[in-house]
Structure 1
Amino acid sequence: MNNPVTSPAFVESINTKASAQRAFEIKASSCTLKENSQEGGNIILGENKKYCIPIYQRTYSWTEIQLKKFISDLFSAFSSKVEQGEAEPIFIGTMQISAIKEGEHQIIDGQQRLTTFFLLLRFLKEKFPESSVLKEEKFDWLRTEVNNGEQQKFLKEVIESPSSVEGSLNPYKNNYNLIQHFFEEQMQSMEEELGFNIEDFLDFLFSKVYFVLIETRAGLSKNLQIFDAINTTGLDLNGGDVFKIRMYEYLHDIKKQEKSIFEDISALYEKIDKKNKEFGDQVTDIQQILAIYQYVIVARHQLPGTLYSLGANTFFERLFDSIFKIEKWENFSKASNVEISLKELDEIIDCRFLWHRNWKYKKNFSAEDAGAVKLIWNSRYGRFWHLYSVFLFQLKEDENRWEKLLYFTRQLNRLFFIYSVRFDKRINEIYSTLMHRVIDRLVNGSYEEVMSIINDKIGKETSHNTGWKNLNYSLTTNLVENAKRKNLICRLSAMLEENYKSTEQSQIKDIINRIFDEPLDVEHIEAYNHIEESKRVELHAEWGQDINSLGNLIILESNINRGIKNKPYIEKIKQYHTSKFPFIKNFHLTYPEWNLNTCKSRTEIEKNKILAYLFKENEKPYSASAVN
């Protein structure tokens, strides 16, 4: 047979790829179902071989399209036997199994294909009862542990009496019916043109359909690594799949839980899906929940702070590697002390959806609180928004945790705003040093300690107005040189013109939508380019840096801004009047004319307004009697 994917060279390449893995045994071979004439070839069935689909696998789920292609490919290859006297071999893919244990192999990859062959053979035995080959066929070589035995009940129904089994909820029966339909359709077509003989078809099926079978002797985690190293087709495990499997191995092998614990793990995934459906939105997923839990684990077990920056998938992959002693990873020397809890993951899911419910409906928020959330997301430190869920989780026994979270959010916004405005990039002083202390105290300390760290860093206005990158300069001068700085300042300025203390839900939504969600531009009140080109040099000579100062900038709906372009102020204010923002609508009442002096005056007013907001509440920490 001249088929590159089943040749010895291909099989050797599989072994070469896998050889990079450590502490395991691997054997790769070219296999057929029952009859293999290749030197060193192997077979899938026969010799009392039995297979188990382990509990952590997905349910059987091949679709109608996949089944139709499967049957069509088989008949396409088989037709060459009738036409040419020799059937063309067909490669069906790779299959990875564990070494035999308790009389059976566990299927790591390939269960969908093997189960489909199982159903095909069961159909053929029912269809051709006179076949001597099929009379000897038994169906005790495949079982499944998926869904804690429920899938095995479905499979057993098809084994014992396929023609009497109702479909719908039984995926094996449903696909059995589809296989029957597609097979009879192909067989009828072939009979009309070339003739069909079941014994010839079985000879082809058992001897010309090839797999590359990879048998490994290793733990579950190592088997997943091998799968990842060699897999090029079939199921692609994502981070959520891998965590589910490795968490099962951790609880079953390390914590000695029963196999049924897998159902508890799966229940967390189902809970997330159910709650997402309730909200009609993809609120979160298991990767985000793990990212939140990552903060808790790193802080609680005093792991190096650099691990906060790892992606959640990588973090848990390396954590499990270290717990299982598969591989030594830098910064995971304390991994053996780590406890991973389904109960805590369940509580974090609840906290994440509690936060989203209040956010979505603006329940227990003020407009200021909602604006703080938006400003944090848009700051240079937006990744720390996960701390809302960590906060709710850590203070779960505190009846005032929501009010405390809001104060935490407002102060965190002040801190991030100051350092996002003062510096054009995020700085390690905040991103690493300070926030690692905040997370540590949030997990291992007290609420009061957390707020003390944040409030001390906010400090006084004077502490931010000395030397290079002082706050006064950053708030007022040449805002257009850094888009993030410009947008943060102008949006906070706009929020402070609104009734931002409002707790009325419709008003909160209106304020937040206008400032943060609808299309906005930052408008130069005095146009950066004079409408008369000949006056542009004179304009810039007169205005200098003030042309890009806080006083000369204002947020404005994009459609209005793009309509007025660089018209003179007297023309612009006619369009300002159509704005949804009350302070812009009435801008002409405060500033009936616009010139350099009014610009400088407004710069001071805007600066002082923002500074008052940033520092006015820094010495008023939350108390149950004084929220907001």
Structure 2
Amino acid sequence: MSISKSQTEKFGQIFSGSRFIIPSYQRKYSWTEKETKALWQDIEESLKDNMNHFVGTLSFKENKPEGLSTDIVYEIIDGQQRITTLFILLKVLIEKIPDQKIQNDQITAFIGSKGNLRLLPLGEDGEFLNTLLFDFNNINLNAIDKRSQKYMYSAKSTFTALANALSREEIEERIIFIRDRLDVLFFNVTSQAQSVKMFSIINDRGLPLRILDKTKSILMLYSTLHLMESLNDSINLAFEKIFDSYDDILVWRDKLGILGRLEENTIFTQHYYSSRKLFPDTWTNRDGAETIFDNLKKRCEDLKNKPTELNTFITEYLSDFKAFSVSYAQLIKDIQTVPIYQKPFRYLEFTATLYPVLVRLYMQNKLIQLLPLLESIEVRVYKLRGTNPIADMYWLSSQLTENDLTIEEIKAYLISFSEKFVNNHVFETYLDSAIAENRVVKYILSEYCNNNLDIAVYKNLQIEHIFSKDPNYDVSSYGFSKDYEYEKNRIGNLSLLEESINKGLGNLPPVNKITGYLSSVITDTRNLAGEIQKGNYCKPCVDNRRKKIVDFCIDRFKVN
């Protein structure tokens, strides 16, 4: 069928004689199990209430048939998440039809064939969707490294599980419902300009778009309305890279177990904090994502009657944001393979505030040289002291973007920053206090023991109190006085121990922990067992151990 400029239609009818492609510049498939289950539930409730279900607005750009083909091909402008999910669901249901001829007819009519789908994302996701729909059982889930493909796999798996419980009649009922009773408002636009205007209008009416979609949309709008569409292709290509980079970051975040709170807003804001030169009148280091988006929109609005300046701003913003995103993704990937990255990124885990600086240094091939200094700052300022200075670091990240700073200039700034917040005297004072609950203690002790620990072993380690937190013995006989509540949490009384071993030691005195300590893989803990075995292990021994660890830290995490 041919879709007119705008019409309300049944979902099943649009696939009659039509094919749909998802352009490579669109963001990849991103519906999670939450959204797929919600769609299923909407259909179930509509069936129960005997009502049609409106799935929303979809917009397309019509591409005329090529050669002898009779199929009209529509480029999906907006709505690809919903239409892809429904396409997968329809295939799952059709697979459950027992009559092979009817099943084949339905697949041909609504799904197409392998290599010739009626809905096809361009690029690698298109190849994966073919395999997902026609060769699902041969997919190795562990080999999938694209976030979009994991989500498509999850959608197919979820719908398959839900459909398994249905009878033949219930399967047919749902296929007919999707085909004939899912209502969709279609817009068939004739140009990209028209689609951009419509998309922006939809956005302004309050539909919940994510920050990267909104950013792309507003740039497309100003390019279309004020630059005669001259930057539309550049915007599409740049955001294809940005979307892919963000997806790659999420995949590697999960593999490496870092960046737990990272989201679209994070990468969007971190780029902004390191690109002050692009927003000279509105930039501050405390703006949130929505304010930053408003600043971007205001910048475009201020320049809309100055096409040359508007073109320059959008071009520079696109180029820098793309480069930042691609480098961010590559840095996260490199963590697995570059040995020097392992400990600070995976074991210590840099605070999010440092990432604008880390990424900019990586872009300039300066990160490896400065990593030990940044690691020390993370230990001293962000972890041990527990503060989160942002102004200085965001200023530095923008300086790195605006000026070609030398390694020595950057070092000087970082040293000054550390001296400002945690100089050696302050560092020693913090280390000498009761810090058992501080999250950096585990990292400090792991460095002190000098074991080359596997990440799985490291994450399984716990902080062990040599003299117990709740002792079942008289601590005064070991030289402790009434200030034991303070003394027990100082670093000299702390060691590392595997969780499984630690559980069995309870609140025993040190002499009764020797066997447990000797079974540890941690060299320092086994050595500690030897010291206790000698006898007379008491408070002076703990004090001496504390002094050794503090001296080690002053040298290991030095900043000059």
TM-score range with shorter-chain normalisation?
Answer: 0.5 to 0.7
Local SS of the residue matching 1:522: strand
Following superposition, the deviation at residue 552 of structure 1 comes to 0.9
Equivalent in the alignment of 1:575: 516
Q: 1:261 to 1:211 in 2, by over 3 A?
A: same
Q: 1:553 to 1:253 in 2, by over 3 A?
A: same
Q: 1:479 to 1:91 in 2, by over 3 A?
A: closer
Q: 1:351 to 1:548 in 2, by over 3 A?
A: same
The answer as to 2:113 corresponding to 1:167 is yes
For 2:361, the aligned partner's letter is F
How many aligned residue pairs are there? 444
Distance 2:493 2:46 in 1: 73
For 2:435, the aligned partner's letter is L
For 2:373, the aligned partner's letter is Q
Distance 1:602 1:355 in 2: 38
Equivalent in the alignment of 2:552: 609
Q: C-alpha deviations, 1:362-405, integer Å up to 9, x for none?
A: 34x2xxx5333346526xx4432343222122x1xxxxx2xx31
Report the TM-score when normalising by structure 1. 0.54
Question: 1:476 pairs with 432, 442, 445, which one?
Answer: 432
Question: 2:394 pairs with 429, 436, 461, which one?
Answer: 436
Question: 1:524 pairs with 465, 468, 475, which one?
Answer: 465
Whether contact under 8 Å (1:90, 1:209) holds in the other structure is yes
Equivalent in the alignment of 2:301: 325
The answer as to 2:450 corresponding to 1:498 is yes
Following superposition, the deviation at residue 477 of structure 1 comes to 1.8
Question: 2:241 pairs with 247, 265, 268, which one?
Answer: 268
Distance 2:506 2:182 in 1: 70
Question: 1:257 pairs with 218, 230, 236, which one?
Answer: 230
The answer as to 2:417 corresponding to 1:454 is no
Equivalent in the alignment of 2:354: 384
Q: 1:318 to 1:605 in 2, by over 3 A?
A: same
For 2:443, the aligned partner's letter is R
The answer as to 2:313 corresponding to 1:310 is no
For 2:54, the aligned partner's letter is I
Whether contact under 8 Å (1:307, 1:315) holds in the other structure is no
1:150-549 aligned within 5 A: 167-172=113-118, 220=196, 223-224=199-200, 226-227=202-203, 229=205, 231=207, 237-255=209-227, 256-257=229-230, 260-261=233-234, 264-265=237-238, 267-268=240-241, 271-272=244-245, 289-299=267-277, 301-302=279-280, 306-307=284-285, 309-311=287-289, 314=290, 317-325=293-301, 337=313, 339-363=315-339, 365=340, 370-374=342-346, 377=349, 381-393=351-363, 395=364, 401=365, 404-420=366-382, 423=385, 425-427=386-388, 430-432=389-391, 434-445=392-403, 446-447=405-406, 448-459=408-419, 463-465=423-425, 470-480=426-436, 483-484=437-438, 487-498=439-450, 507=452, 510=453, 512-514=455-457, 517-532=458-473, 541=482, 543=484, 545-549=486-490
Distance 1:552 1:74 in 2: 64
Q: 1:280 to 1:350 in 2, by over 3 A?
A: same
Following superposition, the deviation at residue 228 of structure 1 comes to 6.3
For 2:450, the aligned partner's letter is E
Whether contact under 8 Å (2:271, 2:356) holds in the other structure is no
Q: C-alpha deviations, 1:121-140, integer Å up to 9, x for none?
A: xxxxxxxxxxxxxxxxxxxx
Q: 1:573 to 1:374 in 2, by over 3 A?
A: same
For 2:220, the aligned partner's letter is Y
Following superposition, the deviation at residue 58 of structure 1 comes to 7.9
Following superposition, the deviation at residue 522 of structure 1 comes to 1.3
Local SS of the residue matching 1:531: coil
Following superposition, the deviation at residue 498 of structure 1 comes to 0.6
Q: 1:589 to 1:261 in 2, by over 3 A?
A: same
Answer with 1 or 2: which has the greater Rg.
1
Distance 2:383 2:41 in 1: 59
Q: C-alpha deviations, 1:128-167, integer Å up to 9, x for none?
A: xxxxxxxxxxxxxxxxxxxxxxxxxxxxxxxxxx989963
1:11-30 aligned within 5 A: none
Equivalent in the alignment of 2:542: 599
Local SS of the residue matching 1:415: helix
Equivalent in the alignment of 1:200: none
Whether contact under 8 Å (2:380, 2:427) holds in the other structure is yes
Distance 1:548 1:67 in 2: 52
Local SS of the residue matching 2:468: coil
Unmatched segments (≥5 aa) in structure 2: 1-5, 15-19, 61-75, 87-107, 121-167, 174-179, 257-261, 305-309
Following superposition, the deviation at residue 547 of structure 1 comes to 2.1
Distance 2:21 2:422 in 1: 67
Distance 1:221 1:550 in 2: 62
Q: 1:385 to 1:173 in 2, by over 3 A?
A: closer
Root-mean-square deviation (Å): 5.8
Local SS of the residue matching 1:548: coil
1:109-124 aligned within 5 A: none
Following superposition, the deviation at residue 545 of structure 1 comes to 2.6
Q: 1:251 to 1:523 in 2, by over 3 A?
A: same
For 1:426, the aligned partner's letter is T
Local SS of the residue matching 1:354: helix
Q: 1:407 to 1:489 in 2, by over 3 A?
A: farther
Whether contact under 8 Å (1:298, 1:308) holds in the other structure is no
Equivalent in the alignment of 2:504: 563
Distance 2:427 2:537 in 1: 26
Q: 1:109 to 1:358 in 2, by over 3 A?
A: closer
Unmatched segments (≥5 aa) in structure 1: 1-29, 35-44, 46-51, 78-87, 99-105, 117-161, 175-184, 191-204, 329-333, 396-400, 500-506, 620-628
Whether contact under 8 Å (1:531, 1:566) holds in the other structure is yes
Equivalent in the alignment of 2:130: none
Whether contact under 8 Å (2:331, 2:359) holds in the other structure is yes
Whether contact under 8 Å (2:464, 2:497) holds in the other structure is yes
Whether contact under 8 Å (1:414, 1:614) holds in the other structure is yes
Q: 1:294 to 1:221 in 2, by over 3 A?
A: farther
Whether contact under 8 Å (1:359, 1:370) holds in the other structure is yes
1:67-86 aligned within 5 A: none
Q: 1:110 to 1:441 in 2, by over 3 A?
A: closer
Following superposition, the deviation at residue 253 of structure 1 comes to 4.4
Whether contact under 8 Å (2:357, 2:394) holds in the other structure is no
Report the TM-score when normalising by structure 2. 0.60
Whether contact under 8 Å (2:58, 2:78) holds in the other structure is yes
Q: 1:537 to 1:302 in 2, by over 3 A?
A: farther
Distance 2:37 2:435 in 1: 57
Distance 1:575 1:69 in 2: 53
What percentage of aligned pairs have identical amino acids? 14
Whether contact under 8 Å (2:336, 2:342) holds in the other structure is no
Following superposition, the deviation at residue 478 of structure 1 comes to 1.9
For 1:439, the aligned partner's letter is S
Whether contact under 8 Å (1:94, 1:110) holds in the other structure is no
